[in-house]
Amino acid sequence: MVVDCILLIVGIALLIKGADFFVSGASEIAKALKIPPLVIGLTLVSMGTSMPEASVSVIGAINGMNDMSVGNVVGSNIFNTLLIIGVSALITPIVIGKDVKIYDIPAMLGMYAVLLVFSFAISPYRLETFEAVILLLTFAAYTAFLIIRARKDAAAKAPSAKALPLSPCERFKPPLSRSMLFVIAGLLGIVLGGDFVVDGASSLAKAWGMSESLVGLTIVAAGTSLPELVTSAVASVKKENDIAVGNVIGSNIFNVVFILGLSSAISAPTLAATALVDVLVMLGAGVALAAVALLCKKVGRLAGAAFTAMYFGYLAYIIVRN
């Protein structure tokens, strides 16, 4: 059991550092290719911080651990919305931008609703291959929409932009070969870390009498969501509200349409009866965030405390349920 715990901790560390390397390298390559910074933030940052979840879910699907794959995605999204937004708002109140309210939060809720219909209405307690393909196509469409939106925003701001002298740090462009090495090293860390986490978590689940679903919803979900937690907390301290909220919402969308879509395409999961409650909690957390965004000018400390309390209440419920 000690070896399994060490394996789990080392795996999570590899996932986090691997994601950090991947984001750094990918961002440098994107800048070298003159991809707009907004596109980098909306896609690479949220996708990069979700790489740990992707690794764990895909490897879990390959190894036939579908409960862990689904639990990891749903648990991570609940953790992201309730605990990360909650903690970030406790640090400093978060103002949610107009575009996020109009486009991204509704998109997230729409994708949650699609997952609910697929998993419990069209093919009850199962995600079929054709549904996984639809999720992947939805991811491609949403990414294309982000790029189009970013280009329009960049074009609108271009006339008023003033050319400022670049600092020595800004003038420095790292070699493309170094950026490629960062991406490769990051991907290796993510894959190896995901393998360690799946092996360690599944062994601990058996040793402690826990279900794979519970391990996915708690230990694995919290561990793989650490990059989002660190990113949003630091952004909140720096009062970068768009990053704090956008990182969470972008990661939530990526988790459902890409990670769950890809892992389900590899191995169609059969969901446990309790999964309906978990997906409804995920949807409810999203609705709560949407309500606060629409009714209030910001996610204040009171809302942050309520979100944090709701997460720990849910955590207590699933532990008792197991």
Alpha-carbon distance values, 56 to 9, 160, 279 (Å): 14, 45, 19
Determine the pLDDT at residue 183. 75
DSSP category for residue 238: T
* C-alpha pair distances (Å), 298 with each of 47, 139, 180, 295: 25, 28, 39, 9
| Residue 246, pLDDT score | 75
DSSP H or E stretch at residue 265: helix 261-266
Handedness of CA 57, 59, 60, 66 (dihedral sign): positive
Task: Write out residues in the chain with pLDDT < 70, as ranges.
Answer: 19, 23, 26-27, 30, 33-49, 66, 153-174, 190-191, 194, 198, 202, 205-206, 212, 224, 226-228, 230-232, 234-236, 238-244
Q: Looking at residue 179, what is its pLDDT? A: 80
Asked whether 42 and 246 are in contact (CB, 8 A), the reply is: yes
Residue pair 10/177 in contact (Cβ under 8 Å)? The answer is no
Cα 235 to its chain centre, rounded Å, is 16
- Identify the burial level of 169 via C-beta atoms within 10 angstroms of its C-beta, where 0-12 means exposed, 13-18 middle and 19 or more buried: exposed
Q: How far is CA 175 from the centre of its chain?
A: 29
Which tokens sit at 111? 């994708």
